[in-house]
Structure 1
Amino acid sequence: MDVVETCGKETTLSSGEPSNKRSIPSIDYDGVVGFENDAEIIMKKLTGTTKELDVLSIFGMPGLGKTTLARKVYNNPSIVNHFDVKVWCVVSQAYNRTTLLVEIYKQAINKECKIKENDDVADMLRKILIGKRYLIVLDDIWEVEAWEDLRLCFPRGENGCRVMVTTRIEQVAKYLQHRSDPYTLRFLTMEESWVLLQKKVFQGENCPSNLVEAGLQIAQHCKGLPLVVVLIAGIIAKMGREASLWLEVANDLSSLALGEQSMKVIQSSYDHLENHLKHCLLYMGLFREDHKIAVDDLLKLWMAEEFVLNSETENMEEASRVCLNDLLNRSLVMVSTKKINGDIESCILHDVVREFCLRKLKEEKFMQLTVPYSPYQHLCSMNSRLCVYIHDDLVKQLDHCEYQFDKITMLESKESTKCFGECSRSLEFIAHPNFNPWNKSNPLPLLVKLKLVRVLHFPYEELPSSWPIAVQSLTYLRYLEISVEEFDFEWISHLLDLQTLVVRSSNFRRTSPATIWKMKKLRHLNVKKLSFVWDDNDKAIFEETSTTMLENLKTLHSHRIFRYDMNPRFWWRFANLEELSLRVEALPSCSLFPSVEVHTRLQSLYLVISPQRFLDSVGWESYFVFPSNLRHLRIGGCFLTKEMTLNIARLKKLESLTLETGFHWDDHHCWDVTNVEFPALKYLELYGARMEEWKASEESFPVLEELSIRIGYYYKEIPPSFADIPTLRLIKLYDYTDSLGVSAMNIKKEIEENTGCDSLQVLLL
């Protein structure tokens, strides 16, 4: 069944096959709230001076009010009077091209007509639109193919014609882009939600004072989603006007607001997903409400559970990110924060989607028949796995049944019975990161019984000292994140399938690296304190002819590493590193990257070295010649000498640079880059840089987009040449001197005077 978003009292039918369509009950949005500014922006785009055909896409998650906003604009008198022809059609997931064209044609001629079987409706429509200024609204487009089926019917004259599209798929919005960028719809503020709730409940009357507090709580719990506000208003409008009843609604809003009507909207998106994306989405539903999910961690967890790719596949990270982008494009997942390079740092599920996921999981008793996704493997492969999420009720039954899985009542189903009948070992448990049901001080005995678990995630509570013994039996682990008192690679070297290892240890322990070479599938390593002790057995590793490699290792992070006991050739063993983060406790005696061509895939480097190590050193800069393909560099501690600056400028692909550096107090504190160019640098951050003066030319940062200065107490101004950087869009100052703030505003003023555009934003924080 296909579900379409509808609004208003006019059209609620899809333009697909009528016999196969059912629409959700029409919701009256006459009391539109919160879209005034949005509507004004869109109307200006629709009636703007551009004479060429333009396509404006309104993009957002289900229930956010895309159709509401489009209808508000469509019915505005200024829009009605501006266009000769206006057409509104709902496209939806499954549509029939001919039926859709007929509907558009009938509205375009504004009368009923009979279409013969052999009529070329597309050509008829094109001809009727030629020479007219038209507005075509295509509501709820799911696929770019729908646009390709229609676009040739819309003449590209110079009449100021427009096509307005609503979609929950970001990829579709971007594909349709002509001149105007896709318009991303925001959530309502709490105040706007409260105004909309009052309009719907009281129909223009004022809310009684005794209901205001409870009403505000209800509005807040609607989380800015208009569909939820409207649906909950319909519920409380039929209640008695008693504060106690409204407070009950506020306390139990999820079950009331997210009833079957609102769930249908999410269900339609869910049904449209491929099977592996359904597993990825449901997995996210078990994170805490409003939890900002770290994307890097999420992708590694998906990989560990084989929701995305088989463990032998080379580009699992890339495939996982494609899955996340698919969910983002469908508006089922939202971006929460971004990194300075524009990559997504964290994402979040709206409460509507999260509640849907939880309901779906409960319906299936937290069980999933999972097929590891691979582009080379058919989804109907027999290599499926019965996975059960570990949750409170399951833990209780596991204890009660002494871990005899065939006696657990909640696992009694056709799938699980067949699974148990064949081999109880084929039952796999998913220890979700949100999972912490036990109240015991020692959780390890339970996990010992779950030998097929793939993820062990205890990042905050320090595990008992017996943890290495317990982990001995968990040989299927792919993801291990723990906080422990002591750590040694030897204790986990038997985990040959391990992909991700994150260790926070409170005590420092020197360890032999010999055991790490056994873990060939290791892809991500983050150990807080890491120091290796070399012995005679390790010498062969450092021979240039040695084939001992961790070829799959992509990220390596350590908060403390001792260079004086590490042969530089050690780094050659990690040739495919993409991210490296180190705090080096001693000045190296030779180059950190003795052969820079080895690390051609290294994209991101974060390096911190204590500055006191440089006081008596000469020529230390030669130790810091970086791999040439670096795109992101962050350096802390070392002095920003002329030689060090040139080392950084040699990185022709460098896009972001963060400097947490200073100058030797015997030097003149001036960072002079007048004759130095950073050709690809888009983002520059200076964090507590101890310099009295900064010189630069307009050629120094030719494509810089953002400058951020934190703790800028040590110098007086930003170089005036920054006013000549055409790409500069943002300057952010934190903890700065008055003169530094004045220089930023002077740059902004000069750009406005020279260009006539207010293109630079200055944030004084």
Structure 2
Amino acid sequence: MAEFLLSKLAESAVSHTVQRISDLLIHEASSLRSVREDVVLLQNELRSLQGFVKDADSKQEHDQRLRELVHQVKDVASEAEDVIDTHILKVTSSYIKAFHNKRIRPQVNSLRSRIHSIINTSMQIYGFKSVIEEGNSSMVELQRYFRRSSPNDDDGDNDDVMVSLKGSINALTAELTKEEDRLCIVSVVGMGGLGKTTLAKKVYNGVKPHFDCSAWVFISQKYVVRDVLIDISTQLDSPNEDMNFEIIKSGWEIVNALTEHELIDLLRHKLKEKRFLVVLDDIWTIVAWDFLKRAFPKGKKGSKVLFTTRNREVATYGDPWSSPIEPPFLTLEESWELLRRKAFPRDIVGERCCPPEYENLGKEMAKKCGGLPLAVVVLGGLLKAKNSLDQWKKVLQDVNSHVNKLQSRQQYEGVNEILLLSYHDLPYNLKPCFLYLGNFPEDYEIPKRKLVRLWIGEGFISTSTRADIKQTLGEAAEGYLEELVDRCMVMVDRSDRTGKKTCCMHDLMRDVCTLKAKEETFAQIIQQHESNKSIDISAASSLQVGSSSHSRRLVIHPGCDLHCNTQQTCTFFGKHVKNASWMEQVHANLRTLLCLGGSLSLSALNSSNFRMLRVLELCVAGGSKIPRGVGNLIHLRYLCINSSSKTAINLPSSLGNLRNLQTLDLGRCNLAGPVRMISRMIHLRRLILPHVSDEKWNFDWSDVGIDELKDIETLKRIPASVLIRYDALNKLTNLRKLQIYFDGNNIHDDIIRVLRSPIVESGCLRSLCMRMPSNHVFPSLESLSSCHSLTRIGLIGKISEGMHSIISITVTKLTLLDSQLEQDPMPVLEKLPNLRFLFVGRNAYVGSRMDCSADGFPRLEFLGLYD
């Protein structure tokens, strides 16, 4: 499957480069003025290459002959970025611009020649025509064939797999037998291997007598509408005992001769007067349902279509009025029970015998399956053939490799192969976003906001080009994450009272992620070695033609000693190398350095090998100084500085040179000194400032022209006086999220200015958090009730009025602290139709009793009551 993956990532690489060049032509116009024509021509050539790769990808899935092609495509796209970024860097830091202009032209012409070569000759060299003809015999097609489901498949002891599905069986049975006067679409949703088809099969066979007719068809990613329609039609005409072979054969010939439109009319005619049940097993896309739904009339009362799908969006689109059923993961006890049943056959009296000495080993292996039924079944089938305790111990040593192997029998198909289907189905723009999750350590809580900012910094996100949609990069990035969640590949949960959301993956889905990331040398990971005395530097020892030993991303996990002069025994591609340091993995084209833990010797950042960085996160040790050299990293889009101590850090004035910076995250450090250089970061979109106590800042806000940040979308922990001083409330019209502290002597007037400002009244603001000093009271907040664009509100400070005149019905998240409300807020809050998150704490209510009605809070997911 590697070639199919490569073609997708090649398309992603080219698309990313085209977008990057477009941005540079706008934001670096002066640096590129003399070579603009050359760069535009290169951009157009890359667009042609983008279309070529997309066309090739749509016509085949994989072939050995594509390996070299897709590497050439990725290489030329990456080199195009390097050439232009290097030119901008040198022109910016040099007075002899003409010299650099002469150097870039031959480089651009060389790249264009290579692109022409790929486009003009690869069709002949790689013979795509024959690839199309031969593609049906690919491994992926064989997998799809063997995965085809039928309600009559013999799964062995089907009751074994039902070990945890009793609740889901009852819920699904109730939905399918409910008689509503409309065509209902019922969905079973979940990640691959969760037991969706097994659940549907069990219920389907149980409820068939309730319907006049029924059919079960397997859809999958590669479906042919005509074949699906014929399959449904022939199942509805189940032959009876009186029909001879000639009649059956004649019926088949008639159906096969019909056009697609005639087949749809035939099905509608057959179903319109019947109560029917049709199962569409493994449906992946909305497009598939749009094609097929034309064949389904309303039917008799109680007619149903049942989906099994990995995509919640498909389920919701099919029937917005029906709630999908999601089978739960197995508990450890359920996993062990299922594994025991699969590993040990029934004895003579019909019971399974499990020797006690096997139980602890079995439970340990069951735990590693992460509650995924498919993984437990695969493992049980393997253990069934192991007859000794020593053999079980050998399996335990590397459970994952055994579970992921592709077995010879259909029901024991490798878990990775099942989960990889979800990965291959991703559109090209989501693939790098998914792979990025593999950069983080196992069990690491990945903040959702941080993740989307990193995606933006990497250049993975593009906004909608539709004229009727005005979308920020942040909103587009959140849409990308929601799509991964809808596809059951990523899970999002809230971790604390602030409502901060964190992302995680099922352990086996993470295995797929890291496997593919390694195959693509997506990032090189430096992590603490098991001995705790050395570090591992892990990446793919790839056999792919043209692959490089160096990735453009370097990620440092917690626990590593990373000072420049540290020489340790490291592991490079599986080989131990003495006296090696993490700096050996730094190279001139490095784009990302993520230090997720431990402190970094900042003097390393003066190295010219960091000049091309776009994403930088680092942890500053106590007493360290941020070197002026950071200001030379003019390509930076994302900068996050964390501090491991309370010692204050001064920002160098050279930081103002970071004119391409989009995210500056200083939320976890203590600042001192002037911060006026921030106003020179004219393309800044997200500014996260440190927490302050008692509204006292250690850093100097003077001469910070905050109004210059015209693109700013997120401002966190900004003093109101700074916004008002520079009339920023009238100028920063792109603001979507504002967290503001009120200070000074005119707090009452300042709040009124904020609430009546264009950034609030324009309807663009989505999130507003206001914090008052402890000795002040909020004036009237009635204007908030008419701000229907606000979905998240935080109020920290005393509120003198009731809640009924404050909160808009559109709010989804509400935090109240220090409000000192005397009137019970619940009768008002419980009526908010969209409220999902509510935190009431720290003397927000000073009464003695709160009452909620049984029908209140219809959509609440999180409730926090504190102090």
User: 1:391: how far off?
Assistant: 5.8
- From 268, 274, 281, give the equivalent of 1:126: 268
Q: 1:652 to 1:329 in 2, by over 3 A?
A: closer
> Do the aligned residues in 2 keep the contact of 1:671 with 1:694 (CA within 8 Å)?
no
Tell me what 2:727 maps to.
594
User: 1:94: how far off?
Assistant: 1.4
Q: 1:495 to 1:722 in 2, by over 3 A?
A: farther
Higher strand residue share: 1
Tell me what 2:508 maps to.
352
Tell me what 1:661 maps to.
797
What amino acid is aligned across from residue 222 of structure 2 in structure 1?
A
- From 667, 678, 686, give the equivalent of 1:554: 686
Q: Secondary structure at the match of 2:665?
A: strand
Unaligned runs of 5+ in 2: 5-139, 240-247, 407-412, 464-470, 567-580
User: 1:679: how far off?
Assistant: 4.7
- From 504, 508, 520, give the equivalent of 2:648: 508
> Do the aligned residues in 2 keep the contact of 1:60 with 1:66 (CA within 8 Å)?
yes
| Residue correspondence of structure 1 range 259-270 to structure 2 within 5 A | 259-260=405-406, 261-262=413-414, 263-270=416-423
Distance (Å, rounded) in 2 between the aligned partners of 1:143 and 1:731? 31
User: 1:133: how far off?
Assistant: 0.7
TM-score, normalization by structure 2: 0.66
User: 1:635: how far off?
Assistant: 3.4
Residue 518 (structure 1) aligned with residue 657 (structure 2): yes
Deviates more, 1:137-146 or 1:636-645: 636-645
| Residue correspondence of structure 1 range 317-356 to structure 2 within 5 A | 317-337=474-494, 345-356=501-512
What amino acid is aligned across from residue 632 of structure 1 in structure 2?
S
Q: 1:590 to 1:50 in 2, by over 3 A?
A: closer
Higher helix residue share: 2
Q: Secondary structure at the match of 1:103?
A: helix
- Per-residue CA shift, 1:687-735, capped at 9, x if unaligned? 3544555579859975463543234586225676988978575783534
Tell me what 1:295 maps to.
448
Distance (Å, rounded) in 2 between the aligned partners of 1:733 and 1:326? 28
What amino acid is aligned across from residue 230 of structure 1 in structure 2?
V
Tell me what 1:381 maps to.
none
> Do the aligned residues in 1 keep the contact of 2:833 with 2:858 (CA within 8 Å)?
yes
What amino acid is aligned across from residue 686 of structure 2 in structure 1?
K
Tell me what 2:304 maps to.
162
> Do the aligned residues in 2 keep the contact of 1:554 with 1:579 (CA within 8 Å)?
yes
Tell me what 1:212 maps to.
359
User: 1:512: how far off?
Assistant: 6.5
What amino acid is aligned across from residue 494 of structure 1 in structure 2?
N
- Per-residue CA shift, 1:19-71, capped at 9, x if unaligned? 99631497544422111101111111111131211001111111111101101
Q: 1:277 to 1:565 in 2, by over 3 A?
A: closer
- From 590, 594, 604, give the equivalent of 1:457: 594
Q: Secondary structure at the match of 1:606?
A: strand
Q: 1:617 to 1:339 in 2, by over 3 A?
A: closer
Q: 1:644 to 1:621 in 2, by over 3 A?
A: farther
Distance (Å, rounded) in 2 between the aligned partners of 1:717 and 1:300? 43
Q: 1:718 to 1:704 in 2, by over 3 A?
A: farther
> Do the aligned residues in 1 keep the contact of 2:748 with 2:778 (CA within 8 Å)?
no
Distance (Å, rounded) in 2 between the aligned partners of 1:710 and 1:193? 40
Q: 1:191 to 1:224 in 2, by over 3 A?
A: same
| Residue correspondence of structure 1 range 142-541 to structure 2 within 5 A | 142-202=284-344, 203=346, 204-240=351-387, 242=389, 244-260=390-406, 261-262=413-414, 263-307=416-460, 316-337=473-494, 345-362=501-518, 364=519, 366-367=520-521, 389=524, 414-416=545-547, 428-434=551-557, 442=565, 446=583, 449-464=586-601, 466-470=603-607, 473-484=609-620, 485-488=623-626, 490-505=628-643, 506=645, 507-511=647-651, 515-527=654-666, 528-531=669-672, 533=674
> Do the aligned residues in 1 keep the contact of 2:782 with 2:806 (CA within 8 Å)?
yes
> Do the aligned residues in 2 keep the contact of 1:295 with 1:347 (CA within 8 Å)?
yes
Q: 1:411 to 1:181 in 2, by over 3 A?
A: closer
Q: 1:602 to 1:65 in 2, by over 3 A?
A: same
Using the aligned pairs only, state the percent identity. 25
What amino acid is aligned across from residue 522 of structure 1 in structure 2?
L
Q: Secondary structure at the match of 1:268?
A: helix
Distance (Å, rounded) in 2 between the aligned partners of 1:289 and 1:101? 45
- Per-residue CA shift, 1:576-631, capped at 9, x if unaligned? 222221175xx949837734232222222234568xx77x9876645754630432
> Do the aligned residues in 2 keep the contact of 1:592 with 1:623 (CA within 8 Å)?
no
User: 1:455: how far off?
Assistant: 1.5
Q: 1:519 to 1:441 in 2, by over 3 A?
A: closer
Q: 1:483 to 1:564 in 2, by over 3 A?
A: closer
What amino acid is aligned across from residue 602 of structure 1 in structure 2?
L
Distance (Å, rounded) in 1 between the aligned partners of 2:430 and 2:354? 44
Tell me what 1:99 maps to.
227
What amino acid is aligned across from residue 492 of structure 2 in structure 1?
V
> Do the aligned residues in 2 keep the contact of 1:657 with 1:683 (CA within 8 Å)?
yes
What amino acid is aligned across from residue 511 of structure 2 in structure 1?
E
> Do the aligned residues in 2 keep the contact of 1:606 with 1:633 (CA within 8 Å)?
yes
Distance (Å, rounded) in 2 between the aligned partners of 1:549 and 1:440? 30
Q: Secondary structure at the match of 2:354?
A: coil
Distance (Å, rounded) in 2 between the aligned partners of 1:496 and 1:589? 27
Deviates more, 1:293-302 or 1:693-702: 693-702
Q: 1:648 to 1:571 in 2, by over 3 A?
A: farther
Distance (Å, rounded) in 2 between the aligned partners of 1:549 and 1:286? 28
Distance (Å, rounded) in 2 between the aligned partners of 1:430 and 1:600? 35
User: 1:656: how far off?
Assistant: 2.3
Tell me what 2:118 maps to.
none
User: 1:82: how far off?
Assistant: 1.0
Distance (Å, rounded) in 1 between the aligned partners of 2:602 and 2:829? 58
Unaligned runs of 5+ in 1: 3-16, 369-387, 421-426, 543-547, 664-669, 737-765
Q: Secondary structure at the match of 1:481?
A: strand
- Per-residue CA shift, 1:193-233, capped at 9, x if unaligned? 12211222234424332222222222211101010010000
Distance (Å, rounded) in 2 between the aligned partners of 1:590 and 1:449? 41
TM-score, normalization by structure 1: 0.74
Distance (Å, rounded) in 2 between the aligned partners of 1:286 and 1:589? 38
What amino acid is aligned across from residue 212 of structure 2 in structure 1?
D
> Do the aligned residues in 2 keep the contact of 1:135 with 1:164 (CA within 8 Å)?
yes
Q: 1:533 to 1:711 in 2, by over 3 A?
A: closer
Distance (Å, rounded) in 2 between the aligned partners of 1:677 and 1:622? 16
- From 281, 302, 307, give the equivalent of 1:139: 281
Tell me what 2:105 maps to.
none
User: 1:442: how far off?
Assistant: 4.8
